[in-house]
Structure 1
Amino acid sequence: MDRYKIIKEVGDGTFGSVWRAINKQTGEIVAIKKMKRKYYSWEECINLREVKSLRKMNHPNIIKLKEVVRENDILYFIFEYMECNLYQLIKDRGKLYSEAEVRNWCFQVFQALAYMHQRGYFHRDLKPENLLVTKELIKVADFGLARETCSQPPFTEYVSTRWYRAPEVLLQSSTYNSAVDMWAMGAIMAELFTLRPLFPGSSEADEIYKICSVIGSPNQNSWADGLQLASMIKYQFPQFTSVHLSALIPSASKDAVNLISSLCSWDPTKRPTAAEALQHPFFQTCFYIPPSLRSKVTAPRTPPTVGTRATLEQKSARRYPGTLPNSKPPSCISSAKMNASVGAGVQRKLNMDQQGANNDDKLLKSSAKNPRYRPPARNSPNSLYANKGARGLVSDTAEKFAQVNLNSGKSHNQPQAGPRPMKAPWLTGNDLVRSHLVPSGRSYSRKVVG
């Protein structure tokens, strides 16, 4: 780690702290994540979920893990550096974002998710803190809770920050999948338009209450499986009729409201996949080149300014429904660093086993004939590279003991007259809290876990 000069701490969470640093040899600014627990072998390090998933990801909208260093039993992740996260931008924003800005960011994130889902992973902790931004470029970060779709259930039910947690996770389903990422994106997209959370629940029960008050209570037609999940934990949904999202998000266009509504569907099977979302009319003006054409046409590293319309856009987007973005950016890891000396007590792993990633590419080519992604099992999100005091990370330990008790301290046997005011309780233990300022002057309490 002598090759890096620490500049300042930019984040702190359950698993580790994040520092802004500079590579003394190249002058490159990087983000160094220092893990809090000790690691006594390389096997432990390379088997971490974050390493196993990121080593297979090579996409311009997914944060790049440049290097892993184990020094004196301390593990360091060296990431590319991004200026800030989306939560900071929303919190400090003085006026609403234009639809063009929202479209540009969401288009990039959906490309990253489509790429990730096709490779058999889903994030499980999508939230504004885990979306890193530098100017108009946005990248998905923090894969500490990422899951493979081929993993065997049951999965842990306590994942993702509550406000972006899909209802099937809130109801303790053990067989969720990539659809939880799509629900989170619906909530994030709405928040980008309004600068305030769509479902700011103060507890698991209140979260479901907030969801019901917006999209209406589920029934046998809208989500039969959800009613069964609720019955298994003896939970009764509060009764609400849906509110049209255009009333809650007045600055959003009809297409935007339609996409958010479909993403925030009770039934996970009714939510569009990331690949399908990219074909939604909301993104019609975005310049998207399907993978089948990228050998002949150089795809831009980021989507061009929203509003540029061309014939190729519509032709490529409509002729290849369900195709997944899989651009081929240059390798993010400098091979020149392979010759760096390894001192006593220091182990360095560069290039993140790109050979394994190349093998994955071969498998992807064979599956390209069936572009519509149908994940076999459902799962959800986690977080990291965030600013100091941010929501932080959800630990595996927290997942084990944080059981959701949806019917404690609240009676749902009779219809509710209306959504009760949300109270932000003081938290104890490992819960990290911060105040989320919104234009109305109200304060929302954002929590890492719980």
Structure 2
Amino acid sequence: MKTSLCFPRLIGEGGEYKTISKIGEGTFSDVLKIQCLRDGQYYACKQMKQHFESIEHVNNLREIQALRRLNPHQNILTLHEVIFDKKAGSVALICELMDMNIYELIKERKKPLPEKRIMNYMYQLCKSLDHMHRNGIFHRDVKPENILIKQDLLKLGDFGSSRSIHSKQPYTEYISTRWYRAPECLLTDGYYSYKMDMWSAGCVFYEIASFQPLFPGLNELDQISKIHDIIGTPPKKILNKFKQSRVMSFDFPIRKGKGISPFMPNLSRKGLPLMYAMLQYDPDDRIDAREALQHAYFRELRVAEKQALAMRRKMRLAENPLERDCISLRRISKEDQRQSEKQKEFKSPVKQFHLPALERRGGGY
């Protein structure tokens, strides 16, 4: 294979890497497929276009901070190494190599994905969002291109736009890709929260199932118009809430909305309520990732997950008798403790008296 001359070999703690091919390009970075010369393993290298002055400058990069906080997690892209070339001022993020992103999976596909596969992908996406939000970070650019897959495994990547949930508003207005931008991002001057990720997830849900974007707006106004066409114009109470953090006023013609159902023939009845819960206009009414994971749509996956966990636990105990004995001892100890507590709880309140001994007569009493 040809090694690109544009990107020199990288040397880091994991060894020396050579470039195999260029697999992606963005405004702020190039993504390369690289190979570690020490062990022959392939990785994805995100080569930043920005110039960095110092290691402190590198460590302040949001993407690095987010990945360090969120790793390891089965549904978050793994960061293996950060390489900083002080002389060139360049930074490269060495991450695990996935097969493709969701957009690449569906863009030329003719046959619909089986619903079990859609369900599995959405369950994993909600897991990644739940882990991220519980760790105080929101992504701000959830879209098919940033959701990576390897066979049945899904991982969320590209944390370059991420922010701390606890950071002060207002945020940057035009951060997420327009088609996946929540109403509060479109209608306020940067007053939005982590719930914007759930709106984006709802848009991705529709796109995985239909292979078409749900709200493909040509500009900001057209984006809002397309949202209103599908889910209707929200009540004045919600719009007034948005107006409080907007310099410019707005009024929209009242539309009922034609709904999502007619366009989703291959999604079961339990799937649509979850999608609508993700696409609630008011972020305060929108489902969060933890609630989404408990939705009826994912019941089958939750049951299978519990069964697999129980099986792994049994196998582990069978392989490690010492751990099994320790668990048995802990169980016995807890039983003893419970029995002791019960005895205390049911201790008779009746006073005890010593009765005089009865005189024995002829072998009887």
TM-score tier by shorter-chain length is: 0.7 to 0.9
Tell me, in whole angstroms, the C-alpha distance in 2 between the residues paired with 1:52 and 1:253: 39
Structure 1 residue 288, shift from structure 2 partner: 6.2
Partner of 2:193: helix, strand, or coil?
A: coil
The one-letter amino acid paired with 1:243 is K
Higher relative contact order (CA 8 A, sep 6+): 1
Q: Per residue, is there more helix in 1 or in 2?
A: 2
Identical-residue share of aligned pairs (%) = 37
Alignment check: 8 A CA contact 2:19 2:32 kept: yes
Alignment check: 8 A CA contact 1:132 1:139 kept: yes
Distance change (3 Å), C-alpha of 1:173 and 1:281: farther
Distance change (3 Å), C-alpha of 1:173 and 1:237: same
User: In the alignment, does 2:285 pair up with 1:285?
Assistant: no
**Aligned counterparts, 1:173-322, within 5 A:** 173-220=189-236, 224-226=240-242, 228=244, 232-287=247-302
Structure 1 residue 99, shift from structure 2 partner: 1.2
The one-letter amino acid paired with 1:44 is H
**Aligned counterparts, 1:114-153, within 5 A:** 114-153=130-169
The one-letter amino acid paired with 2:284 is T
Structure 1 residue 289, shift from structure 2 partner: 8.9
| Residues paired across the two proteins, number | 297
Tell me, in whole angstroms, the C-alpha distance in 2 between the residues paired with 1:143 and 1:163: 18
Structure 1 residue 234, shift from structure 2 partner: 2.0
Tell me, in whole angstroms, the C-alpha distance in 1 between the residues paired with 2:179 and 2:74: 27
Alignment check: 8 A CA contact 2:231 2:258 kept: yes
**Matching residue within 79, 91, 96 for 1:80:** 96
The range that moved more, 96-105 or 245-254, is 245-254
Alignment check: 8 A CA contact 1:259 1:277 kept: yes
Distance change (3 Å), C-alpha of 1:298 and 1:109: farther
Which residue number in structure 2 is paired with residue 54 of structure 1? Answer: 67
Deviations 1:259-315 (A, max 9, x none): 111111110011111000001111011036999x9799659xxxxxxxxxxxxxxxx
Distance change (3 Å), C-alpha of 1:212 and 1:100: same
User: In the alignment, does 2:18 pair up with 1:16?
Assistant: no
Distance change (3 Å), C-alpha of 1:237 and 1:118: same
Structure 1 residue 172, shift from structure 2 partner: 2.8
Structure 1 residue 137, shift from structure 2 partner: 0.7
Structure 1 residue 11, shift from structure 2 partner: 0.7
**Matching residue within 168, 186, 203 for 1:170:** 186
Distance change (3 Å), C-alpha of 1:214 and 1:228: farther
The one-letter amino acid paired with 1:30 is Y
The one-letter amino acid paired with 1:85 is N
Distance change (3 Å), C-alpha of 1:277 and 1:223: farther
Partner of 1:109: helix, strand, or coil?
A: helix
Which residue number in structure 2 is paired with residue 312 of structure 1? Answer: none
Unaligned runs of 5+ in 2: 1-9, 315-365
User: In the alignment, does 2:111 pair up with 1:98?
Assistant: no
Structure 1 residue 155, shift from structure 2 partner: 0.9
What do you get for the CA RMSD once the two structures are aligned? 2.2
Alignment check: 8 A CA contact 2:180 2:200 kept: yes
Structure 1 residue 224, shift from structure 2 partner: 4.4
Tell me, in whole angstroms, the C-alpha distance in 2 between the residues paired with 1:255 and 1:166: 23
In our comparison, the structure showing a higher alpha carbon Rg is 2
**Matching residue within 40, 53, 66 for 1:27:** 40
The one-letter amino acid paired with 2:100 is C
The range that moved more, 70-79 or 192-201, is 70-79
Alignment check: 8 A CA contact 2:188 2:243 kept: no
Which residue number in structure 1 is paired with residue 80 of structure 2? Answer: 66
Tell me, in whole angstroms, the C-alpha distance in 2 between the residues paired with 1:190 and 1:178: 20
Q: Under a length normalisation based on structure 2, what TM-score does the superposition of the two structures give?
A: 0.77
Deviations 1:163-215 (A, max 9, x none): 00000001134331110000000010011111000001000000000000000
Structure 1 residue 244, shift from structure 2 partner: 2.9
Alignment check: 8 A CA contact 1:223 1:266 kept: no
The one-letter amino acid paired with 2:79 is L
Distance change (3 Å), C-alpha of 1:114 and 1:289: farther
Q: Under a length normalisation based on structure 1, what TM-score does the superposition of the two structures give?
A: 0.63
Unaligned runs of 5+ in 1: 300-450
Distance change (3 Å), C-alpha of 1:272 and 1:49: same
Alignment check: 8 A CA contact 2:171 2:191 kept: yes
Tell me, in whole angstroms, the C-alpha distance in 2 between the residues paired with 1:55 and 1:92: 35
Tell me, in whole angstroms, the C-alpha distance in 2 between the residues paired with 1:81 and 1:171: 37
Tell me, in whole angstroms, the C-alpha distance in 1 between the residues paired with 2:299 and 2:39: 41
Distance change (3 Å), C-alpha of 1:296 and 1:40: farther
Structure 1 residue 222, shift from structure 2 partner: 5.4
